[in-house]
């Protein structure tokens, strides 16, 4: 909302109204453009994050494909998780379900 006030009767004419309408329309377009730009930036950041996650998964998958030993695979995954999250400690645990 744009409010223009003056305590004088008939202070504004049709030209003033058209100018205010033009300004309001321009402001509306500028605000929508800013909103769309912010949304585009958010989506771009989200896409970059997903690409980084996929890159990590891809590197772990490639390393795992070269290894057949369980201990080596656990070390690769643990190292990748530690490096990715800059963690001091990473624990990997397995839950083994009893066979039925």
Question: What confidence tens digit (pLDDT) does each residue in 3-21 have?
Answer: 889 899 989 999 999 999 9
Domain that holds residue 27: 14-66
39 within a domain of the structure (yes/no): yes
Per the domain annotation, does 59 fall within a domain? yes
User: What is the model's pLDDT at position 11?
Assistant: 92
Establish if 95 belongs to a structural domain: no
Number of compact structural domains in the chain: 1
Q: Which pLDDT belongs to residue 27?
A: 95
Tell me, yes or no, whether 61 lies in a domain: yes
Q: Spell out, as residue ranges, where the chain has pLDDT lower than 70.
A: 100
Q: Report yes or no on 25 lying in a domain.
A: yes
- Tell me whether residue 44 is in a domain: yes
Q: Which three-class secondary structure string do you get for the chain?
A: CCCCCCCCCCCCCHHHHHHHHHHHHHHHHHHHHHHHHHHHHHHHHHHHHHHHHHHHHHHHHHHHHHCCCHHHHHHHHHHHHHHHHCCCCCCCCCCCCCCC
- Would residue 43 count as lying in a domain? yes
pLDDT of amino acid 64 = 77
């Amino acid at each position: 909302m744009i409010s223009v006030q003056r305590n004088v009767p008939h202070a504004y004419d049709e030209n003033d109204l058209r100018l205010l309408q033009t300004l309001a329309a321009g402001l509306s377009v500028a605000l929508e453009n800013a909103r769309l730009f912010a949304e585009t930036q958010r989506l771009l950041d989200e896409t970059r994050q997903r690409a980084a996650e996929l890159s990590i998964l891809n590197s772990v998958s490639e390393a795992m494909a070269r290894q057949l030993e369980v201990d080596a695979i656990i070390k690769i995954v643990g190292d990748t998780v530690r490096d990715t999250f800059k963690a001091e400690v990473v624990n990997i645990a397995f839950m083994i379900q009893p066979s039925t």
